Structure formats: structure tokens, C-alpha cells
Structure 1
Amino acid sequence: MLKFFSPFLYVLGSIVHFFKIPSPQGGFIIRFPSFMTKSELGATLFGGYEKHERKLIKKYLEKNDFVLELGACIGVVALTINRILTDKTKQVSVEPNPQMLPFLTKNLERNGGKFFVETCIVSKLPEVTFFIGGTAFLGSSTLGGGQKTVIKGKTLNDLIDEYFDFTALIMDIEGGELDFFRSFDLKNSKIRLIVWETHCKPHMLSEIELHECYDLLTDQGYKFREKSGDVEAWSRII
């Protein structure tokens, strides 16, 4: 179906690119990167970007949560989170890709976001090799093929010490989910909710690796709640 509409989306994307037209997404006005393909830019005009994450966040996130978001990208999900929270400053959104930061910052300012932005990668390593572009759409610490750069690593406890204890984790890190769950035992954390994109696809997570994620979450007391597209919500009672 998408292939059928591809010429139409290409034309729309060309117009968006030439006139630098922002896109409406869930009540926000969002500027997308001009280096996206023309068809991708055209598709943004229909407002469905990250719709599955937004759906589950709206359903399960509570207004008094303290949120850590990994993989903020250009800020659509980050702004959705921020709109829900009573205290808008109780959110830390992490985006290590230097190409995305100008768009994240501009979209934050344009839409009145009040959250903190971190440019690290959450890891036990002091430095992490990160690939900009390549196999993943906008960048990944696990996939090669793009421009290589080195990003500072911070542990989960580093962020807790710098900001506050988190009660909700929102995660879209392009195949890095298993590394995160292996590295950080959330059993003794205050995180009650995890909304994450599973990325079970070639060059990201295999079926076996995805089920290891499930086993780790279950062992740490989390239960599956709902799935929308490739995004899942898990929670536990603290």
C-alpha cells in the first residue's frame, strides 16, 4: 500500500523540503530533518509519527510520574510525555545523536516543552561508539553502517543522582534494548512502567534476543500489559 502511494508522498515531501513546512503531530508543530527521504517527509503530514508510543503513553503514564526517555529523537514522544505531567520538569529525555539535537531543541522551544535534554548514552561504559544513520533510520549504538562517533556514557544511577528517581521509562533505542536490560537490574528501582519499542527485525533484535528481554523484565517483577504495533507497555506494583 505504501509503495502504491510512494509517488504521491514523494511530491508532498518535495514540497515540505523546499518550503521547510513543519508537520502537525498530536497537537504539536514539528520540524522534521531535511535529510529524511522525500517520501518519509511526505508521510509526516498525516500525523501518524510514533503513533503507537503516543497511544500507550497516553493510556499508562500518570501525571505524577518521573520520566526517563531514551531515544528522544526530534521530540514528538517527549512532548507527548511532557503534556501529561503535572510538573513538566520531572522528565529527562536522552538523545545522543548530534544530528537530531537541533531539531529536538527547536521542537521543544516551539511547543513549550519544559523537560531536560541529555546527550549521553545510558550505559555502564564511560564512552560508547555510536553510528549516525546507517542501518537504523536515525542512529544506533548497536548497528554499524553510518558515520561513527563516540558518545559519553552515563549509568542509570548517574542520571538518578543528577536528577531524581524515575518511575517511568520510555525507550526507543533502535535495537539497544537488550543491552540496556542486561546492564541494569531494575528490580530495586522505582520504575513502575516501561513503554518500549521491541525492534524485533533483521539487524536489530532476533526472536531469541527479544524473548531474553521478556525474561529479564519478568524476573524483575514486570508484567506485560498491552501491545500497539511494535510498542509494548509493561508495569509492576512498587
Structure 2
Amino acid sequence: MSKPVIYELNGVSLPHDDAIITPQVAASLKRGNYERAEVLATPKFLEPEDRVLELGAGLGYISSYAAKVIGVSHVTCVEANPKLADYIRGVHEMQGLENTEVRNCVALPGGAKLNPDKTMPFYIREPFWSSSLDPGRDAIAVENIAQEYLSDLIKDAGATALIVDIEGGERDLFKGGDLGSVRKIYVELHTRYIRPKGIKACFDALSEHGFYYDQRVSHGGVVLFRKL
């Protein structure tokens, strides 16, 4: 029986899973540049006392890095893809982490109306990072996922920092609601999905909440906002 493949990257161990880790992702893990921008940026704004809420947790790599290597107080991962949510739980267990939680749900802005059954369709695509709430692109499966208001997730997690990578969902995420205890928001902007008007909407909403663009940490399409 062959030995299981484990990727070791910046102090984090990730088990191979054919259903999740594509050849492209595997190559990036082997080269050591998977989520490189985030690994370089997070130590610049996360501190040990921070409680992190991560939306769109992917493989659980950044959450594991934040909890294990940076040593933040707690990380709550929100992942809409149920298979990824299970994988992330396994990754956290592999690191021996006890200060993390994984929630399989979708975060909604404060002004959004919940569906009667408090679920909504999430469109699964390959590779996994193409999955989203957008029905307009080819999907291999559709899952009905629990809806949660962002403000409730923040309150439940006691979050002081948000890390957001949700394939265009950032456009409307920050409209209305209450960002409560959050003081730092690190978000990947997906211009190809939300277009310039969506970028402006995201900046405008965060400005209304009292956040400003932090040039020192931001790079390209990954932007840090801080509370004034």
C-alpha cells in the first residue's frame, strides 16, 4: 500500500485528496507558492490576540497558518462547499489545533432577505475555487447551504479580523449590517466577476462602515482595510 501524500508548506501539513487537490493545486503546493500573497501578508496585520473569521476557507491552509504559525487566539472558517468544509476539519485536526471551528454556511449582508427555509443554492465547480453562488457558469453539482448573516457570524466568533475570498461575493457582502468587533478586513477582489462597479461598491460599503484602504499591506487584487 502506497504511503499517503502529505504536502508540507510553511509549517502546515495538507493531506492529498484527489477529489479536492487538482494537479494545478498540487503543483503549487510542491513549489511552495500556494496562497503565497496571503502567507506574506497575514503576519503583517494579524496579532496573537486576534480572533479571525475567514470566509471562503479553501483548503484550510491560511486558517491553519494563522492558528498554528502566527498563533492567533481563534479562527472560525466559513466554507459553503460541504466537501471542503470536511477537508478543512481534517486539516485542522492534523495540525493538532483546538482553537478553530468550521461552519458550512453562506454569509449574507445585513440587508439580504433570508429564504423561508434559511438555505440557498451553492454551485459546485471544478476546480473547487470556481464554486460560488453564481448560477451563470457550468456547475457539476448544486448544494443547498445554510444562510447566516455576516453580522451574526462576527458576533458568534467574536471576530476582530476578517479574511475574505469568496469569488465575487465580496461585492455586496458589506452592505448594511453591523461589522461589530472587526477592525481589520483582508479581502481578495475578483474584478473579472464583479467588474469596476462591484469594486467601487465594495470600497463604498466599507467606507460607510468606517474602514480605510491600508496601502502598506495591500498588493494587487488583495486588499487590507482597517477601521479608523
Give the structure-1-normalised TM-score. 0.80
Residue equivalent to 1:91: 75
RMSD across aligned positions (CA): 2.2
Separation in 2, partners of 1:157, 1:234: 17
Separation in 1, partners of 2:195, 2:79: 24
Q: What is the aligned counterpart of 1:213 among 180, 202, 205?
A: 202
- Change in Cα spacing, 1:215 to 1:128, as seen in structure 2 (3 Å) is same
Q: What is the aligned counterpart of 1:142 among 134, 145, 148?
A: 134
- Change in Cα spacing, 1:224 to 1:177, as seen in structure 2 (3 Å) is same
Residue equivalent to 2:181: 190
Q: Secondary structure at the match of 2:174?
A: helix
| Unaligned runs of at least 5 residues, structure 2 | none
Separation in 2, partners of 1:160, 1:137: 23
1:43 CA drift (Å): 2.5
1:85 CA drift (Å): 3.6
Q: Does 1:151 align with 2:145?
A: yes
Residue equivalent to 2:170: 177
- Change in Cα spacing, 1:104 to 1:233, as seen in structure 2 (3 Å) is same
Counterparts of residues 19-98 of structure 1 (less than 5 Å):
20-35=4-19, 36-83=21-68, 84-87=70-73, 90-98=74-82
1:93-142 deviation per Cα after TM superposition (whole angstroms, max 9, x unaligned): 11120121232122111112220111111124221210111586352123
Residue equivalent to 1:107: 91
| Unaligned runs of at least 5 residues, structure 1 | 1-17
Name the one with the larger strand percent.
Answer: 2
Residue equivalent to 1:9: none
Q: Does 1:130 align with 2:110?
A: no
- Change in Cα spacing, 1:40 to 1:157, as seen in structure 2 (3 Å) is closer
Instruction: Tell me how many residue pairs correspond in the alignment.
Output: 213
Separation in 2, partners of 1:111, 1:93: 15
Letter in 1 for 2:86: P
- Change in Cα spacing, 1:86 to 1:95, as seen in structure 2 (3 Å) is closer
Letter in 2 for 1:182: K
Q: What is the aligned counterpart of 2:219 among 198, 209, 228?
A: 228
